[in-house]
């Protein structure tokens, strides 16, 4: 079983200016002379993983951004960028959006360069098996970047639409010379972005081994494919990938709901960003945003609506473990409920885990072309048995499809709270996003100023509904 993913401190970094999207044609442009061995190329690949764990990308702020725009999170401080997000008025200067955009494309650019070297025989001592593994990891990293970006910076994918709304630039070519550094890449449609991401991950599944040590495996790619097809409401394919992971992946639910945060690379983990110390913490932004048992109060806390649902059943260990109600200051006065998922000096970021996959299969079983309500009931019961204790909350065997769907979405919110899913779930189910329509432009980030500066003709998102 593969317990995924990585990362030590950056051991190899590209030279380059701060914004690679508008690289100046200087002697800092990458050349094939910078990397010429299998060891060099592995170091470059590691540096791409390191960007994934950046606090403004998968390391935390991306997760918090989605919860703050939706109805899961609130904030307790004043800050230009976070104020915009809380008010759903993100413009091209939004700091968090800019940093997310920048770092996601940074990770893609690094693997683009690795792919370029593989295609141009730039690494003569690399054996074919290793070349395939590295290509698979590159495609995985690049697909994740484009998928996460399109969900935040474009209107949502809709199953009953041709999805020709503007998506994001698809960047699959490296910056290896002046021409590449100054090339303008227009926004592709949302459909085109999804098609590209799926194609990349399907190739990654074939190229990656099932066990790849601390790096992305074929199971990590399948987990993202399950998530993507679920976001598309393509329930047949989401069900198929989720079932493959559950049946054949060798993963198992932890005994405790908190264990996937407290335990490094637990049996539930499919894809994790590693941490080794407080000074090398992939979850630094999550800990900084939510930790409530340290010095002072965190800047973000769960919304009252989420808390009320989380503690609605006294047997639900998620309500007991994921939250803590205490005095805001000292030993008396006003109380507030805080998120306790990230109360650690350092921890791995559980990007993909088995509980999410079980919930994907449960809901997909209801709405796939050949519904399988018994499977949905069985999957829901697995999640409930762990959360509430075995036998404490039974899924009725005569539940209708609508009742099961409501149960799946309820459990999904509680199980995955503060893990970035809520905004995308609301859009997927065409539900209101804290009073806004699911397809409101106010729930979409504006294309950042750094992109517009190097690409002044890029189509911007409408500023309001």
Domain ranges of the chain: 20-276+349-437
Q: Model pTM? A: 0.91
What is the rounded CA–CA span in Å between residue 119 and residue 14?
A: 19
Beta-strand (E) ranges in 252-299? 269-273
User: Helix %, strand %, coil % for the chain, to 5?
Assistant: 50, 10, 45
- Could you tell me which of 152, 43, 70 has the C-alpha nearest to residue 104? 152
pLDDT in tens, 24-76: 333 343 445 566 788 888 999 999 999 999 999 999 999 999 999 999 999 99
User: Quick one: CA dihedral 293, 86, 352, 448, positive or negative?
Assistant: negative
List beta partners, residue 324.
338
Q: What is the DSSP letter of 56?
A: T
pLDDT in tens, 382-440: 999 999 999 999 999 999 999 999 999 999 999 999 998 999 999 999 999 999 999 99
HSE-up (13 A, CA, CB side) for residue 389: 8
pLDDT in tens, 259-316: 999 988 999 999 999 999 999 999 999 999 999 998 889 999 999 999 999 999 999 9
| Residue percentage of the chain with pLDDT more than 70 | 90
Q: What is the DSSP letter of 145?
A: H
- Could you tell me which of 142, 166, 171, 158 has the C-alpha nearest to residue 21? 171
Do the beta carbons of residue 153 and residue 105 sit within 8 Å? no
What is the rounded CA–CA span in Å between residue 315 and residue 295?
A: 30
20-276+349-437 topology per CATH? 1.25.40
């Amino acid at each position: 079983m593969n317990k995924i993913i990585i990362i030590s401190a950056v051991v190899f970094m590209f030279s380059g200016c701060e914004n690679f999207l508008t690289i100046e044609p200087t002697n800092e442009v990458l050349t094939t002379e910078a990397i010429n061995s299998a060891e060099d190329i592995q170091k470059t690949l590691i540096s791409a993983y390191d960007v994934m764990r950046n606090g403004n990308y998968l390391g935390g702020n991306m997760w918090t951004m989605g919860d703050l725009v939706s109805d899961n999170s609130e904030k307790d401080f004043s800050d230009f960028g976070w104020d915009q997000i809380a008010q759903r008025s993100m413009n091209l200067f939004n700091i968090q959006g800019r940093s997310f955009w920048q770092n996601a494309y940074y990770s893609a650019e690094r693997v683009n360069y690795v792919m370029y070297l593989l295609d141009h025989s730039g690494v003569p001592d690399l054996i074919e098996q290793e070349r395939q593994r590295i290509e698979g990891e590159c495609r995985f990293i690049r697909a994740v970047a484009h998928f996460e970006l399109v969900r935040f910076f474009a209107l949502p994918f809709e199953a009953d639409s041709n999805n020709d709304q503007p998506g994001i630039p698809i960047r699959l070519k490296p910056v290896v010379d002046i021409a590449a550094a100054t090339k303008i890449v227009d926004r592709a449609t949302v459909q085109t972005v999804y098609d590209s991401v799926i194609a990349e991950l399907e190739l990654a599944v074939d190229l990656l081994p099932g066990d790849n040590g601390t790096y992305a495996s074929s199971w990590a790619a399948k987990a993202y494919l399950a998530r993507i097809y679920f976001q598309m409401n393509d329930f047949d394919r989401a069900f198929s990938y989720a079932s493959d992971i559950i049946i054949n992946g060798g993963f198992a639910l932890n005994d405790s709901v908190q264990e996937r945060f407290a335990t490094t690379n637990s049996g539930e983990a499919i894809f994790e960003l590693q941490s080794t110390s407080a000074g090398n913490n992939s979850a630094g932004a999550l800990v900084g945003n939510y930790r409530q048992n340290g010095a002072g109060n965190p800047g973000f806390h769960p919304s009252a609506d989420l808390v009320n649902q989380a503690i609605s059943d006294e047997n639900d260990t998620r309500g007991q473990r994921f939250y803590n109600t205490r005095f805001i200051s000292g030993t008396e006065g006003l109380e507030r409920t805080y998120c306790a998922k990230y109360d650690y000096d350092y921890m791995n970021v559980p990007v993909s885990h088995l509980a999410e996959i079980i919930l994907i299969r449960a809901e997909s079983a209801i709405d796939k072309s050949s519904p399988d309500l018994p499977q949905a009931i069985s999957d829901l019961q697995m999640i409930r048995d762990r959360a509430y204790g075995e036998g404490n909350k039974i899924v009725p065997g005569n539940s209708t499809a609508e009742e099961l769907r409501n149960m799946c979405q309820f459990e999904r919110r509680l199980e995955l709270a503060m893990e970035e899913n809520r905004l995308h779930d609301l859009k997927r189910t065409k539900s209101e996003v804290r009073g806004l329509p699911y397809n409101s432009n106010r729930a979409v980030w504006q294309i950042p100023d750094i992109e517009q500066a190097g690409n002044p003709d890029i189509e911007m998102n409408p500023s309001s509904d």
